Chains A and B, each alone.
Chain A
Amino acid sequence: MLEQNQAVHSNVVSMPSENDLIAASKEGDKQAFKGLYKLHVGRVYALALRLTGEASMAEEATQEVFIQVWSKLGNYRGDSKFSTWIHSVASNVTISYLRAQKSFWQNLFNLEESGAEAKPAETSADAVDLDAYVNRLPERARVVFVLHALEGYRHEEIAEMTNMAVGSSKAQFHRAKQLLKEWMGYGDE
């Protein structure tokens, strides 16, 4: 368990490393997993917030991410950095969460995505807060923009993650950029 993995040098007990926490978590140590949660919750939540555009949904998605991470830890072999791996899980789980939410509402109201969210920001370009602008993007454009521009996924990867065509991903990214350009006051360029 975690205690056994902690390195003891003379009288100094060092903090467990991320690898120690991962190893202990794989053995079922929830306190170690809490350590991993504390290390990564900020980045996971930031991603979920940007993808969902809403704090309450981001909170639920973040919880779902860590529940899934717990069940999938056995899959992590250390081939990539843990932060990369958990970010990948977070992206997939949050998109899946969004899809589940959306299909619930679509089943209920048969809603189609409209441009209703695409309202221009009222702040000036000088006081630009990109996070606020991104939140205002229509859902598909927002998801593609966050995954491509912020997370660095290729359009082919985004297409696979979101079940859309590669061309659609590119088109949504273009749409997002056009809206941001307009809202940031560069519409005349």
Chain B
Amino acid sequence: MSEFEKKLKAQLEQMPPSIEPEKDLWVGIEHALNRAEDARYAPHQGTNDNEQGTESQSRPSVSSPNGEVRKKPTLTLVKRGNPMLSMAAAVAFVAVLGWFGFQQQAVTQAPTMASIVEQLEKQHIEQKQALLVSYQSSQPVTSDWQAQLSELDSAATAIKAALKEDPNNKALLHMLQQVYQQQLSLIETVYNPKWQAI
């Protein structure tokens, strides 16, 4: 056995088997269990709880599926092809967040999230510039598209401001991506409209 192998073996044996979390995690667990119990005893309303992100953890059950965690729900508030609706939804969502002072924890992730937002913005600017350059010699079909583009810029700015306050909010990040996508769709639509077939 090499020196490294010996050292590694010794280090592995010394690693503590138990590490106490800094936060009390029980409160969140109990809340989730209570919420699931409430949902269980509430009248069945036929809603799609999975899409709402509601965990169905009632009493311990033999028939529960094994060990799979669902992907975190992502908010899909807007549909492609309707930039104004997208912007309105984004602004409304940010306003609601501001109103309720919604905050999440896990400040430790802030630098990473900030760099991700930065990367997203950088990618978007590059894509937008490339698209505008490619349509340089074309004429737009409407005249007010730049105002719409500007409004979407404002929405993106508002979301980025909200992200600074709440850097771990994935819904906000997803929304920022949607707004950026709407900008690209808008440019494509005004320069290269796809007329709907009747």
Contact = CB atoms under 8 A, between A and B. Distances in A.
Interface of A: 25-26, 28, 30, 33-34, 37, 41-43, 45-46, 49, 54-56, 58-59, 62-64, 66-68, 70-75, 89, 92-93, 96-97, 99-101, 103-105, 108-109, 125, 128, 130-131, 149-150, 177, 180-181, 184, 186, 189
Interface string B1-23: 01110011001101111111111
Contact of B72 (A55, A73, A75, A104): A104
Contacts of A184: 4, 7-8
A54 B109 CA distance: 9
Given A71-B64, A104-B72, A130-B11, A59 B30 contact: no
A10 to B, nearest CB: 33
B66 interface: yes
B20 A108 contact: no
Contact of B29 (A63, A72, A89, A130): A63
A149 B32 CA distance: 33
Contacts of B62: 74-75
> What is the predominant secondary structure among interface residues of chain B facing chain A?
loop
Given A92-B66, A104-B71, A104-B72, 5 more contacts: A46-B16, A49-B19, A59-B23, A92-B67, A104-B74
Interface stretch (B86-94, B155-163, B170-178): B170-178
B88 to A, nearest CB: 22
Interface in B47-84: 55, 57-64, 66-72, 74
Interface of B: 2-4, 7-8, 11-12, 14-23, 25-26, 28-30, 32-33, 55, 57-64, 66-72, 74, 105-106, 108-109, 116, 119-120, 123, 168, 170, 173-174, 177
